Structure 1
Amino acid sequence: MSEDLAGAPCDVVLPCLDEAEALPWVLGRLPEGYRALVVDNGSRDGSPEIATRLGATVVRASQRGYGAACHAGLLAATAPLVAVMDADASLDPQQLPTLLAPLRAGTADLVVGARRLVSRDAQPWSLRLANVEVARRVRRRTGVDLRDVGPMRAALRLPLLALGLEDRRSGYPVETVVRAADAGWRVLGQEVDYLPRRGRSKVTGTPLGAWRAVRDMSAVLAR
């Protein structure tokens, strides 16, 4: 294990749009040494106030879009390590140490959470099919053996900033993998539990939303 990273803190970027119902559970399960950066992307349900009351650092992202929120959080982060995960309680912060273990050991440069559904209710069939297709395209484009390009991932902060990610919509996770692979990074998939989200999905909760997300990701792969 790298001595420099063995005990290094990690900033956790949590893109947030109306996640008042989920935030208490998510923030309450952050392990010691992991600081929450809740990136508000225009919430109207009091999410920023709830996050502040629970001790999180709130970052405002004026530009709408998943990638815009991730980028704002990355710019606000200061820890050597940074992780990104959804704030809707579909992912368990208690699994962050396992996700980051390859980074701390120096055996990976980017770790991507591969979602393992704990129940069929965790994800609609339309999105499951879309994820399989996106992962197939990413494997073909990069040669990286990933079965899922999910919303939970971790890397060293400064190298991640240096990748110069440009997508500000749903293509951001795919662009992260593509640019990392093109830069010669060691990209590793790590299984993580995927739970039924709390509250309504604002992005991929409908077939139309799933189609838009796949469109954004496909545009990244086509560049």
Structure 2
Amino acid sequence: MTPVTPQLDIVLPCLDEAGALPWVLDRIPPGARAVVVDNGSTDGSPDIARARGALVVTCDRRGYGAACHAGLEAATAEFVAFCDCDASLDPGDALRLLDGIRAGADLVVGRRRPVSRGAWSLHARVANVELARRVRRRTGADLRDVGPLRVARREPLLALPIADRRSGYPVETVLRAAQAGWTIVQEDVDYAPRTGRSKVTGTVRGTLQAVRDMSAVLAS
């Protein structure tokens, strides 16, 4: 039997997310396919993903942007979503963002709305407010959050000259999209406490590194 081509590939950058993967993969909506990009896991995450039917891609180059881009290149669906793999976001929400693309937008970005006090650390939230302000000033797009859940058409996204392979990847995606004249809109999505230890914004040091990466993109 010929495999059915998914309408939406959901790219899930993954580094040691064995505790979160079952929850995340169980929420991949019908008609979508999970593309789990393993970025050097040592906890068996790739095996868990394969066992639950995900396409697993190996990305040897460390970095959030490197994993995102490897997933984008491996995707085959007309539409591509990016989502964190730590159970803080429900990949099923990608369908609502996809509705925005079908309604005429070129890029839809999820605006995180915390569902509990511990979902989003204060230092990460403060940094995000400033980052979003700078992105608005630079692009004119009315974004209040440059969040990790976003949807676009695959081929136009591949054509954008996105060079960052670290934490600046989402910001550069928005910048390049704005430069290309894309219509960029935002949709609210629930944001829950992540499962397991955060590698980036869960710590002050990680947040500062992400801010440096994103600031470098904005300054370029």
Which whole-Å CA distance do the structure 1 matches of 2:186 and 2:23 have between them? 25
Which whole-Å CA distance do the structure 2 matches of 1:178 and 1:154 have between them? 15
- Residues 110-169 of structure 1: CA distance to partner in whole angstroms, max 9, x if unpaired? 000000111110011000000001000000100110000000000000000000211000
Q: Judge conservation of contact 2:34–2:55 (CA < 8 Å) in 1.
A: yes
Aligned to 1:187: 184
Q: Which runs of 5+ in 2 are unaligned?
A: none
Aligned to 1:26: 24
Give the CA deviation at 1:81.
0.3
- The one-letter code of the counterpart of 1:96 is A
Are 2:43 and 1:45 aligned? Answer: yes
Which whole-Å CA distance do the structure 1 matches of 2:76 and 2:127 have between them? 34
- The one-letter code of the counterpart of 1:169 is R
Give the CA deviation at 1:104.
1.7
Are 2:15 and 1:11 aligned? Answer: no
- The one-letter code of the counterpart of 1:51 is A
Root-mean-square deviation (Å): 1.1
Aligned to 1:3: none
DSSP-derived class of the 2:118 partner: helix
Q: Judge conservation of contact 2:146–2:171 (CA < 8 Å) in 1.
A: yes
Which whole-Å CA distance do the structure 2 matches of 1:161 and 1:93 have between them? 21
Among 104, 109, 119, the alignment partner of 2:106 is 109
Runs of 4+ in 1 over 2 A off after TM superposition: none
- Aligned pair count? 216
Which whole-Å CA distance do the structure 1 matches of 2:24 and 2:128 have between them? 24
Which whole-Å CA distance do the structure 2 matches of 1:103 and 1:202 have between them? 31
Among 160, 164, 167, the alignment partner of 1:170 is 167
DSSP-derived class of the 1:102 partner: helix
DSSP-derived class of the 2:11 partner: strand
- Residues 16-68 of structure 1: CA distance to partner in whole angstroms, max 9, x if unpaired? 00000000000001110110000000001100000001110100001000000
Q: Relative to structure 2, which stretch is displaced further, 96-105 or 176-185? A: 96-105
- The one-letter code of the counterpart of 1:143 is G
Question: Following superposition of structure 1 onto structure 2, how do residues 50-89 of structure 1 map, counting pairs within 5 Å?
Answer: 50-89=48-87
Aligned to 1:133: 130
Give the CA deviation at 1:8.
6.9
Q: What's the % identity of the aligned pairs?
A: 68
